[in-house]
Structure 1
Amino acid sequence: MMTEEKPHILIIDGMALLFRSFFATSAMGHFFPNAAGVPTNGVQGFARHTMTAASVFKPTHMAVCWDMGAHTFRNDLYDGYKANRPAPPEELVPQFDMARDASALIGWKNYGEKGMEADDLIGSMIAHWDGKAEITVVSGDRDLLQLLRPGVNIALIKKGYSEYDIYTEDRFVEEYGITPLQYIDKKAFTGDTADGYPGVKGIGPKTALTLIKQYGSVDGVVAAIDELTPARRKRIEDGMDMLMLSRKLAEIHCDLEVEASLEEMPIPNYDDNVKQTLEQLGYSLVMRHANSLYVTN
């Protein structure tokens, strides 16, 4: 008897692709304003990335996950979380809503959870479909590597629209020498300068990996702290509070209630009506990209 093939869900980290697309083009002064003079460069880049990913990975279903506002539970845990990031450029601000609207117009299902990051929603979707679907996540965020497991690939976007640095669980373990979940413990020690939390001062990536490989986790290191060299012991003892807080900040929450069904995540048809609407909204680059990737229905 033939076994039924599992669905393949493509999950897009919408905000990551929007930001990457905006800065890649704005650096060259390209904003592609629409008829009302509103920039569209981030929206169009996001849509082109997403269309390309659907063409490359050939999923059976797809979803786009979004951050829903700048403030999340991590800001409540630590005032400095992402506090060092500058405010988004004024040319980007209107494109947040425009990107979600364009995504829905094209036929992609949008998901977002107030007070949580897209990472948490992506992690929860992976947990929800664990063992029941193959999953490919497209993002530019290496934090998502902690979500790797059998049946899950993380495709990190590179330069251009069709090059990806694809991680599987096996590749991660071979490259880092730890499990994907232990990546959280590594970040607890090293912190994350982009997200604005320091980890333990004086503990760099190599030392963090050494400690995790030997003791298994943050808790394992703390339990064996008397075995460490005096210098490492002092650094960790001095930074203990931030170590524990950094681990909470680094961990992607995978326990959100996911109200998603395969029926609401179909692969859309990029037909003439969609392309005409994209053209009318000033998204001509997206329309041409669709024409280059898909046969008109």
Structure 2
Amino acid sequence: MLNNSNKSSFMLVDGMALLFRAFYATGMTGQFMINSKGVPTNGVQGFLKHLLLAVDHFNPHHVAVCWDMGSKTFRTEMYQEYKGNRSAPPVEMIPQFDLAREAVEAFDIPSFGIEGFEADDCIGTIAKAHQSDYHMGVLTGDQDLLQLIDENISVILLKKGYGNYDIHNEETFFEWKGIKPDQMVDLKGLMGDSSDNYPGVKGIGEKTAIKLLQQYGSIEGILANLPMLTKTQRTKIESSLDMLHLSRQLASIKCDVPLQCNVEDARLQFDEEKVVHMLKQHELKSLYSRFK
């Protein structure tokens, strides 16, 4: 179970995070599992394995998957270099985007993705909209989503291999980082994010950023107390004020994107015959034994 309360559990899956993780787990050694139609399936098979093991482990009542819809979003409009350090996906990956969504559809699990927004924004919107009625669990490998943690929202971080998780709620997050989940956005604003390619305040790393947030609570609190900082810290922050505020905006997950999630559609129930047909059609052989 995702929680110890009487609320039903709802698992939101970061589709791209699971798919890329699964692809690179075998793709790095050239094991693309190409089917008889010439389509690589390694990412999809690993994605489904991650998804189904999590369903077995957490036993959610409802499941939905969220996807990115291309590389151009409102964040790239704000900052052209956002994620600009990422190369195009390998050619073996490209046909697996649609195949993964088709596989999810075979399980009658709804998918969400909106042009101009990231999967994180869809996850945040659904999680915040339904947290009063359900305990929301976010399955991902992306620590950016930790900012969503709330009384009824947990984040399940995938660890190495399959079926291994770090589960974070408000208490465990504070024990780990020493700050509250809603301070994550300010943390990213200060230290930046090399994987998303925005710098934050040059020369301020995670350790210093956490210490400042522990002392002053927020970016506003830090700016109000600049004279209390060391001369070096003050100089770094004062010379990067615009980028500090921009980085915080880029890090902040939007929880009000225009989507509606019908909870009843996300109830976990599927037709095994339909699933087996999909597995056989695409020769997803690593899943055969599960659905004999």
Is the TM-score greater than 0.5?
yes
User: Where on the TM-score scale, by shorter chain, does this alignment land: which range?
Assistant: over 0.9
* 1:71 alignment partner in structure 2: 72
Deviation, 1:278, is 1.1
Deviation, 1:106, is 2.2
Letter in 2 for 1:124: T
Letter in 2 for 1:13: D
* 2:107 alignment partner in structure 1: 106
* 1:89 alignment partner in structure 2: 90
Letter in 1 for 2:216: Y
Letter in 2 for 1:286: L
* 2:152 alignment partner in structure 1: 151
C-alpha root-mean-square deviation of aligned residues, in Å? 1.4
* 2:138 alignment partner in structure 1: 137
Write the distance in 2 (CA, Å) between the matches of 1:15 and 1:268. Answer: 23
* 2:288 alignment partner in structure 1: 287
* 2:259 alignment partner in structure 1: 258
Deviation, 1:258, is 3.5
* 1:170 alignment partner in structure 2: 171
Deviation, 1:270, is 5.2
Question: Would the aligned equivalents of 2:145 and 2:155 in 1 still touch at CA under 8 Å?
Answer: yes
SS at match of 1:128: helix
Question: Would the aligned equivalents of 1:112 and 1:121 in 2 still touch at CA under 8 Å?
Answer: yes
SS at match of 1:241: helix
Question: Would the aligned equivalents of 1:128 and 1:258 in 2 still touch at CA under 8 Å?
Answer: no
Write the distance in 2 (CA, Å) between the matches of 1:133 and 1:121. Answer: 17
Write the distance in 1 (CA, Å) between the matches of 2:177 and 2:158. Answer: 20
Matches within 5 A, 1:2-81: 5-81=6-82
Write the distance in 2 (CA, Å) between the matches of 1:273 and 1:70. Answer: 32
Deviation, 1:172, is 0.5
Write the distance in 2 (CA, Å) between the matches of 1:36 and 1:43. Answer: 15
Letter in 1 for 2:112: Y
1:276 matches 2:277:
yes
Runs of 4+ in 1 over 6 A off after TM superposition: none
TM-score normalized by the length of structure 2:
0.95
Unaligned runs of 5+ in 1: none
Query: 1:249-281 CA deviation, whole Å, 9 max, x = no partner?
Result: 111111123311221102133513421331122
TM-score normalized by the length of structure 1:
0.93
* 1:199 alignment partner in structure 2: 200
SS at match of 1:64: strand
Question: Would the aligned equivalents of 1:189 and 1:199 in 2 still touch at CA under 8 Å?
Answer: yes
1:180 matches 2:176:
no
Deviation, 1:165, is 1.1
Question: Would the aligned equivalents of 2:106 and 2:274 in 1 still touch at CA under 8 Å?
Answer: no
- Identical amino acids, percent of aligned pairs: 45
Write the distance in 1 (CA, Å) between the matches of 2:240 and 2:80. Answer: 17
* 2:225 alignment partner in structure 1: 224
